[in-house]
Chains A and B, each alone.
Chain A
């Protein structure tokens, strides 16, 4: 039974990783930018979620407000931070993004205080009996939420006109533009969707831990980078699989490798192993 519970815990964690990493891999697929500051938007999503939920008492409203406002902010970040430096060598955007992320964490610390915030209504921490195991309601909400959001994304990307324009721009920007697709609009959409998903992940992590703190983005941000590399940069399906796989591997790894490595290093041990064997990532193509 222990194995099954470890597996489910891993999937919960993997679902969070997936929500964060999909936004990152979308940005990379379109613009070849490693958007480290993405995790700053994730943290902000958590804060907005807790503040709105405590203010109005509605978790659904909190999730919505967090996703829309952070999505819009993601578009602002693109316009002000990345748009002017798209033609520079790749390390320029990467270093700028790291700087932006560190500055954001500090701003959260200054604005919201260093100790973090919690939900005032604790009914989501109640246990729920499922088959033979008990899960917290927050864990169920997380997994269901991730499935709904990512499923919705797959539907939009696969079926709608917007989705087709988007995929066309990712696979060949120049050709897409010559067919009349506005590349700038696609980029804005990209940042809106990716950032909104990160905000949703932020709200879910806030639920799981019943805490948001300024540094909650640090570890997920670097891990999400590892995940998108393993998934084959820019490959959405690969990223999802890598996120779930990492969640499960970490869950087992903490039990069996705990003597050797701490939890956060497992992701990178796995990453380096993967890169040395398959430099294009687990699911990448060359």
Chain B
């Protein structure tokens, strides 16, 4: 039972992490190749605080705030550069985060931070917390998608210049998307740190950014349920089948390539295509 509980806890954390990227890349169309930096910022922020004696209930949101503040900074970069340039800039932010953390003895350097205090919720309670937060973010995402803000995000993702012409405050909404997405990534990071009780720079590298990106891409960029399914499956597969764990990167790499090469809608696009096939006479909607 303990094994299932820890699996589900991890699933909750990864769903939270994947949905947070979906807010930025999926809803607002801003590609980020350095999302693990914010996951890491939240993890380090929360872990340093609980190690200093701050209660977990305060440290967790504080870590999310740290990540969100950093996210707004990177959001400003997204106002300055676009598309390919932004992808490289966010990737650079990821490497910069690692480069800085590695050299700071106060943050544990290469060795990382160990013996992070237990949040005191029990294993089952902690699992419930992670799953509840993931569910809450899913509901929040659905709410955002339907709100005026979601419409503005979609307009920006579609065509930024047209959105600006139509009076959408592009800069403001981009910053909001980055602030929200990175803060939730920080929340996931704080949960991760207090789940494993140990963090080091390697846990937040480029591979982690790619892992979470492949969840969003495989699920279907912008689709809430698609991203959830992809996050659950891609988290569980390597854990349950040890063989797959050996070839995890080959699987992620192959999936990223395959989905982009053969149909960029991901699981959500596939489901839509099947649904359209089953209802003859209806014109299929184009994928994102």
Residues of A within 8 A of B (CB): 28, 32, 34, 81, 84-85, 88-107, 110, 218, 222, 225-226, 229, 233, 258-262, 264-269, 271-272, 275-276, 279
B80 touches A105 (CB 8 A): no
Interface size class of B (residues with CB under 8 A): 35 or more
A85 in complex: contacting residue of B85, B102, B206, B261, CB < 8 Å: B261
Contacts of B125 in A (CB 8 A): none
A275 touches B77 (CB 8 A): yes
A94 touches B84 (CB 8 A): yes
Q: How far is the CA of A225 from the CA of B33 in the complex (A)?
A: 13
Q: Kindly provide the distance from the CB of A95 to the nearest chain B CB, expressed in whole angstroms.
A: 5
Q: Kindly provide the distance from the CB of A271 to the nearest chain B CB, expressed in whole angstroms.
A: 5
Q: How far is the CA of A102 from the CA of B93 in the complex (A)?
A: 20
A103 touches B253 (CB 8 A): yes
Q: Kindly provide the distance from the CB of A225 to the nearest chain B CB, expressed in whole angstroms.
A: 5
> For residue A228, which residue of chain B has the nearest CB?
B88
Q: Kindly provide the distance from the CB of A85 to the nearest chain B CB, expressed in whole angstroms.
A: 6
B214 in complex: contacting residue of A84, A99, A218, A258, CB < 8 Å: A99
Contacts of B252 in A (CB 8 A): 99, 102
B261 touches A229 (CB 8 A): no
Q: How far is the CA of A161 from the CA of B252 in the complex (A)?
A: 43
Dominant SS at the B interface? helix
Q: How far is the CA of A132 from the CA of B36 in the complex (A)?
A: 47
Contacts of A265 in B (CB 8 A): 95-96, 98-100
Q: Kindly provide the distance from the CB of B245 to the nearest chain A CB, expressed in whole angstroms.
A: 12
The answer to whether B162 has its CB under 8 Å from any CB of chain A is no
Q: Kindly provide the distance from the CB of B208 to the nearest chain A CB, expressed in whole angstroms.
A: 12
Q: Using A99-B253, A218-B206 as known contacts, list a sample of 6 further A-B pairs with CB atoms less than 8 Å apart, ordered by residue number in A.
A: A95-B256, A102-B207, A102-B256, A233-B85, A261-B100, A275-B77
Residues of B within 8 A of A (CB): 31, 33, 77, 80-81, 83-85, 87-89, 91-93, 95-96, 98-100, 102-103, 206-207, 210, 213-214, 217, 247, 249-250, 252-261, 264
A268 touches B99 (CB 8 A): yes
Contacts of B256 in A (CB 8 A): 95-96, 98-99, 102
Q: Kindly provide the distance from the CB of B60 to the nearest chain A CB, expressed in whole angstroms.
A: 28
Contacts of A91 in B (CB 8 A): 31, 83, 87
B95 touches A268 (CB 8 A): yes
Contacts of B261 in A (CB 8 A): 81, 84-85, 96
A260 touches B89 (CB 8 A): no
B255 touches A268 (CB 8 A): no
Dominant SS at the A interface? helix
Known: A229-B88, A275-B80, A275-B89. A95 touches B95 (CB 8 A): no
> For residue A88, which residue of chain B has the nearest CB?
B264
Contacts of A269 in B (CB 8 A): 92, 96, 99
B260 touches A102 (CB 8 A): no
A34 touches B98 (CB 8 A): no
A/B interface sample: 13 pairs, CB < 8 A: A90-B83, A95-B213, A98-B256, A99-B253, A101-B253, A102-B252, A103-B250, A103-B253, A103-B257, A105-B249, A267-B92, A268-B96, A272-B89
> For residue B256, which residue of chain A has the nearest CB?
A99
Contacts of A267 in B (CB 8 A): 92, 95
Known: A85-B261, A106-B249, A229-B88. A222 touches B206 (CB 8 A): yes
A261 touches B257 (CB 8 A): no
B257 in complex: contacting residue of A96, A262, A276, CB < 8 Å: A96
B217 touches A95 (CB 8 A): yes
Contacts of A94 in B (CB 8 A): 31, 84, 87
Q: How far is the CA of A264 from the CA of B249 in the complex (A)?
A: 22
Residue of B33, B92, B250 with most chain A CB atoms under a 10 A cut-off: B92
Q: How far is the CA of A243 from the CA of B256 in the complex (A)?
A: 29
Contacts of A110 in B (CB 8 A): 250
Known: A95-B217, A222-B206, A265-B99. A102 touches B80 (CB 8 A): no
B260 in complex: contacting residue of A95, A226, A229, A279, CB < 8 Å: A95
Contacts of B260 in A (CB 8 A): 85, 88, 92-93, 95-96, 99
B99 touches A100 (CB 8 A): no
Q: How far is the CA of A266 from the CA of B253 in the complex (A)?
A: 27
Residue of A92, A103, A110, A276 with most chain B CB atoms under a 10 A cut-off: A103
A34 in complex: contacting residue of B77, B87, B250, B253, CB < 8 Å: B87
Contacts of A268 in B (CB 8 A): 91-93, 95-96, 99
B88 in complex: contacting residue of A106, A225, A259, A266, CB < 8 Å: A225
Q: How far is the CA of A132 from the CA of B165 in the complex (A)?
A: 64
Contacts of B213 in A (CB 8 A): 95, 98
> For residue B80, which residue of chain A has the nearest CB?
A279
A261 touches B99 (CB 8 A): yes
Q: Kindly provide the distance from the CB of A26 to the nearest chain B CB, expressed in whole angstroms.
A: 15
Q: Kindly provide the distance from the CB of A228 to the nearest chain B CB, expressed in whole angstroms.
A: 9
B91 in complex: contacting residue of A84, A85, A93, A225, CB < 8 Å: A225
Contacts of A96 in B (CB 8 A): 256-257, 260-261
B95 touches A34 (CB 8 A): no
Q: How far is the CA of A101 from the CA of B210 in the complex (A)?
A: 11
